Chain A
Amino acid sequence: MAWLGSIIPLDHLGHYIHWHIVLISVSNLIVICLMVVTFIAALFAPFPGRSRRKESK
């Protein structure tokens, strides 16, 4: 697992973004951004077999 530690150093203090009253860790911000990206992708990504189902409908 040493290779993972070299890519993502986990043995130091976390990074935080502080903007006025907003204080959030970079890791939490990344997860929130990933959720937004996943949500948008879920709305627009083609679903397998959708066109076939529409035809049969």
Chain B
Amino acid sequence: MSTTEIDRQWTTRLRKRVAGKLPPEKLLPDTQPAYVASWIYVFGVTTLAALSIVIATGCILAIRGPEWWHGSYIGHFVNSLHLWSVEIFFFAMIVHLWGKFFMGAWRGGRTMTWMTGCVTFFASILAGFTGYVSQTNFDSQWISTQAKDGINATGGGAYFNVLNLGQMLMWHIVLLPIAAIALTAIHVILVRIKGVVPPYAEDSEIAQ
């Protein structure tokens, strides 16, 4: 096979494009700009750490099932870990969102980074909601019977039936985790490609 033919292969073109956009030293950097030395920059990675615990505890709950998480001490413990890691996940994500909003984190060609973050936030809200209605307890019954009127008022009740436990559980443990994890991965890769947004003062210095 000639060099021209090799260069025309989609695998070669994709490899060259990925290597050009995201070389290893950019994907896994060993240093960060000086302005990153602030507590406001730690909430993104706090959100990621909480998400990994959410996923790990969710996998254990999926393996053992509702009887286990309702009826055993260790089940209660893992269920509580799942809940509290979600609390930390949203807490950190909102502080991260406020920080990035006031930094204008969409500057410098970072529009897609900002947008994927926003969409991940909305997907996470939906994941949290479907989790609440999948608890299989009185709390989930109360939430789903209250939510059904709101969803029905939008006309979406036939497609997204909050009283259908099977449907809500599938959204919670299959579709929304895939969406949240994929969006988070894209978001982190975009942060690595474009770099962490500099403060306004640093940005104007760079422009000069």
Interface residues, chain A, with chain B CB atoms under 8 Å away: 31, 34-35, 38-39, 41-43, 45, 47, 49-50, 53-54, 57
Contacts and interface: CB of A to CB of B under 8 A. Distances in A.
B37 A39 contact: no
Contact of B37 (A35, A41, A42, A50): A50
The B interface, classified by DSSP as helix, strand, loop or mixed, is helix
A53 B37 contact: yes
A31 B94 CA distance: 11
Given A35-B91, A39-B99, A42-B95, A49 B37 contact: yes
Which of A31, A34, A39, A41: most chain B CB closer than 10 A? A39
A41 B34 contact: no
A47 B98 CA distance: 19
Contacts of A43: 38-40
Given A31-B87, A39-B40, 15 more contacts: A34-B91, A35-B94, A35-B95, A35-B98, A38-B91, A39-B95, A39-B99, A41-B39, A42-B42, A45-B39, A49-B37, A50-B37, A53-B34, A54-B34, A57-B34
Interface of B: 34, 37-40, 42-43, 87, 91, 94-95, 98-99
The A interface, classified by DSSP as helix, strand, loop or mixed, is helix
A34 B94 CA distance: 11
B143 to A, nearest CB: 14
Contacts of A47: 37-39
